[in-house]
Amino acid sequence: MILEPLARNPPHQLNIGNLTVDRVAQYIKVFGVTVSQLLKWNKHVANICSKLNKRLYFRKQLKRARMSTGDLLCFYKSVIRPVTESMCVLHGTQV
Interatomic CA distance for residues 50 and 30, integer angstroms: 18
Average pLDDT rounded to a whole number, residues 51-59? 96
Inform me whether the pLDDT recorded for 58 exceeds 70. yes
Q: How far apart are CA 70 and CA 48, in angstroms?
A: 25
Look at 84 and 30; give whichever has higher pLDDT. Answer: 84
Q: Which pLDDT does position 89 carry in this prediction?
A: 62
pLDDT in tens, 10-32: 666 777 888 887 776 677 777 77
pTM (predicted TM-score): 0.64
Q: Tell which phi-psi region holds residue 29, choosing left (phi > 0), alpha (psi between -120 and 50) or beta.
A: beta
